Amino acid sequence: MTESQETPEELSEETPQKKAGFFSRLKQGLKKTRHSLAGGVENVIHGKAKVGPELLDELEEALLMADVGVSASSYILDELKKDVAQNRIRTPDQVLDRLKNLLVRLLEDAQGEMHVPENPPMVVLVVGINGSGKTTTIGKLAQKWKDEGRNVVLAAGDTFRAAAIDQLRMWADRIGVPCIHQKHGADPSAVAYDAALAARSRNADAVIIDTAGRLQTNANLMEELKKIKRVIGKILPGAPHEILLTLDASIGQNSVSQARLFNEALTINGLAITKLDGTGKGGAVFNIARELKLPVRYIGIGEKAEDLQDFDAGDFVRALFEK
């Protein structure tokens, strides 16, 4: 590529700074998991002069303590043991480097692109249990997409609680995007239907649909979500293009079974891991990737609009381990 063909972003001097700001916020947001995961691992590595069964056992324990989970931890340990047995790894520092690579690989194996339809609007259906961060994530995502120049329409599909409708409308007003809503108790699929029609007539780029939470074991909820999916697919073929599951990082390993239940009922396309700033259990992300092979799209590291980040496996692991 010649210089004259470079895009404005590549020439912009702001990009590295923006990236640095993004990364330091990520590090700050992951502080507690840095402490539990990287802290635990480094204690083991730095306390040992040589690589042997003792170091590897303690490392596994440190991973489990940091909520990395049985499946992801045993995958990592099996790989490390092979490397040690075949003499590819000889020092504790090499174990640490290899561990970081394996953590990135684990996450990357589950990554995949979002399906963006040829003809907009793209429809994103956001699901998850009560309090997992659906409405907040939608608000943040709408802000982010609007800042990127996309026309977004929100749909207040959590009609189960009046406060949930108001909460989404408040986000919409603040950001300056339309929010399609009906009254408390209305059929959520009717709201989704209205939103799809509104988005089509406004030539919107994206519709993001909020839904009710309750318990993941609640059969009615799953039926309700399936109905939204069916209804929306009739108006906009191929929709919803993304079913995004929000998982509260502070529930640790329980997120694996929660994600499995939603995935069985609805076929989840991607995950938003929320509240990483408030917990040391962020290591669970690795087990979710290992067990469910579901891509993490976004992470929430605070309550404000700017506290939602696109997920990048390499950045995530670097933010956990880098000094």
Ligand X SMILES: Nc1nc2c(ncn2[C@@H]2O[C@H](COP(=O)(O)OP(=O)(O)O)[C@@H](O)[C@H]2O)c(=O)[nH]1
Residues within the interface to Mg ion (CB under 5 A): 134-135, 164
Residue 92 binding result from ligand X, Mg ion, none, given CB thresholds of 5 to 8 Å by partner type: none
Least CB distance from residue 74 to ligand X, whole Å?
29
Residue 283 binding result from Mg ion, ligand X, none, given CB thresholds of 5 to 8 Å by partner type: none
Least CB distance from residue 263 to ligand X, whole Å?
17
Closest listed residue to residue 190, CA positions, set 159, 169, 144:
159
Cα 270 to Cα 310: distance, rounded to the nearest angstrom: 12
Residues 79-138 that bind ligand X (CB under 6 A): 128, 130-136
Nearer to ligand X, 29 or 295 (CB): 29
Nearer to ligand X, 253 or 274 (CB): 274
Nearer to Mg ion, 27 or 214 (CB): 214
188 binds ligand X (CB under 6 A): no
250 binds ligand X (CB under 6 A): no
Least CB distance from residue 211 to ligand X, whole Å?
9
Closest listed residue to residue 137, CA positions, set 149, 121, 125:
125
Q: Which residues make Cβ contacts (< 8 Å) with residue 218, sequence separation at least 6?
A: none
303 binds ligand X (CB under 6 A): yes
* Contact indicator for 317, 104 with CB cutoff of 8 Å: yes
Least CB distance from residue 168 to Mg ion, whole Å?
7
302 binds ligand X (CB under 6 A): yes
What count of Cα atoms within 13 Å lies in the side-chain half-sphere of residue 90? Answer: 2
Phi, psi (5° rounding) for residue 154?
-100, 150
Nearer to Mg ion, 163 or 197 (CB): 163
Nearer to ligand X, 56 or 142 (CB): 142
Q: Which two tokens stand for residue 314?
A: 């390499």
Residue 132 binding result from ligand X, Mg ion, none, given CB thresholds of 5 to 8 Å by partner type: ligand X
| Total interface residues for ligand X by CB under 6 A | 19
Phi, psi (5° rounding) for residue 194?
-55, -45
Name the pairing type of β-strands 296-300 and 308-310: antiparallel
* Contact indicator for 62, 43 with CB cutoff of 8 Å: yes
Identify the residue among 39, 117, 233, 278 touching ligand X (CB under 6 A): 278
SS3 category, 275: coil
274 binds ligand X (CB under 6 A): yes
Least CB distance from residue 154 to ligand X, whole Å?
13
For residue 224, give Cα distances in angstroms to 115, 185, 192, 221, 229: 23, 13, 12, 5, 9
> What are the residues binding ligand X (CB under 6 A)?
128, 130-136, 213, 246, 274-275, 277-278, 300-303, 307
